[in-house]
Amino acid sequence: MAKPLLEQLRNYTVVVADTGDIESIEQFKPQDSTTNPSLLAAAAGMPHYQSIVDGVLLEAKKQLGDKAADSAVANLAFRHLAVAFGRKILAIVPGRVSTEVDARLSYDTEGTMKQAREIIAQYDEAGISRERVLIKIASTWQGIKAAEQLEKEGIHCNLTLLFGIHQAIACAEARVTLISPFVGRILDWHKKNSGKDFRGADDPGVQSVTRIYNYFKKFGYKTQVMGASFRNIGEIQELAGCDLLTISPQLLEELQQTTGELPRKLDAEKAKTMDIHKIPMDEAAFEKMHAADPMATDKLKEGIESFSAALVKLEQLLAARLTALGASQEKAMASR
């Protein structure tokens, strides 16, 4: 009897849940989990997570004082909320959680490092090992340089919004722990700009991750590859064997419900025998290759703007909730 694809995938690849929804993580029992600002904003708006949100808001208000503006409290609360969800997730998954630095710091090396240290300090205070936390940082040159220094300090990083081989190589040279190439967003760009539909191994996102994986294994880089941002289970099937794959609850469900043979497509030993040329990488080479890759240029810019907008939305949601909490407290005091 054929086994579910999800069960077979776990034989080749570490399965990661791409969600901030605790219930989905409990259902699919992934090894690791990751969130981003969009997912956090969605989770924070769900009624059954209101107690987590309220607890973080009240603590931020206490920390900044009663005279602090709601916007300032909301900004601090967002940084603590990501860790609060991370701690909840780590109580379920046996592996790691990725917690993201503010996307608005994507071109600010010092600002990224400062916030990453603040995030890891919260996990440290909660008694959570640094081996179980990855700091998510956008794969700009500035972000990669921040990650390089953070790794030297024992703070492990997950470089996200990665679309081109130049970004991947720069991350590997910086010895970051993990990269997250965005399969689906690469596909989106090519479909929009070519008018073509791509399937299976012809999918440009699949081809990009396959190239990165083979390059890393050929030259012995320790940086792990985690395919992300999937549009369909066909992309996931083509990347069976990748170090990790982070998958939405919807596609995890589809993989669980689908049976059939799932052959391994990516193999480290095979990659070592491939004829692959090494590409020298420094800032000048990075910027030149990035400028020559319109897909990577467009999608990195778009991704940073999208995550930044999601953070603004989340801060607005938190500020509105803080106002509601204040009104509720005043009403309670008046009725005494």
Query: Above 80 in pLDDT, residue 238?
Result: yes
CATH of the domain at 206: 3.20.20.70
- For residues 10, 239, 40, 23, the Cα torsion angle rounded to the nearest 10 degrees is -30
Task: Evaluate whether 240 touches 9 at the Cβ level (below 8 Å).
Answer: yes
The span from the CA of 159 to the CA of 120, in Å, is 16
Going from the C-alpha of 325 to that of each of 81, 98, 137, 266, 303, the distances in angstroms are 16, 29, 32, 51, 33
User: Using one digit for the tens of pLDDT, what is the confidence trace for 271-282?
Assistant: 999 999 999 999
User: Using one digit for the tens of pLDDT, what is the confidence trace for 21-78?
Assistant: 888 999 998 999 988 878 888 888 888 888 888 999 989 989 999 888 888 888 888 8
DSSP 3-state assignment of 243? coil
Instruction: State the pairing for strand pair 14-18/244-247.
Output: parallel
Q: Which of 29, 62, 136, 331 is catalytic?
A: 136
Structural domain range at position 285:
5-328
Q: Is residue 333 part of a domain?
A: no
The span from the CA of 253 to the CA of 241, in Å, is 19
Task: Evaluate whether 22 touches 46 at the Cβ level (below 8 Å).
Answer: no
The span from the CA of 300 to the CA of 140, in Å, is 8
Q: Is residue 334 part of a domain?
A: no
Report the domain count for the chain: 1
User: Using one digit for the tens of pLDDT, what is the confidence trace for 82-136?
Assistant: 999 999 999 999 999 999 999 999 999 999 999 999 999 999 999 999 999 999 9
- Residue spans of alpha helices (H) in 239-282: 249-257, 268-272
Position of tokens 């050929």?
218
Q: Is residue 336 part of a domain?
A: no
User: Using one digit for the tens of pLDDT, what is the confidence trace for 173-212?
Assistant: 999 999 999 999 999 999 999 999 999 999 999 999 999 9
**What pTM did the predictor assign?**
0.93
Catalytic residue list contains 145: no
The span from the CA of 30 to the CA of 220, in Å, is 27
The span from the CA of 246 to the CA of 262, in Å, is 17
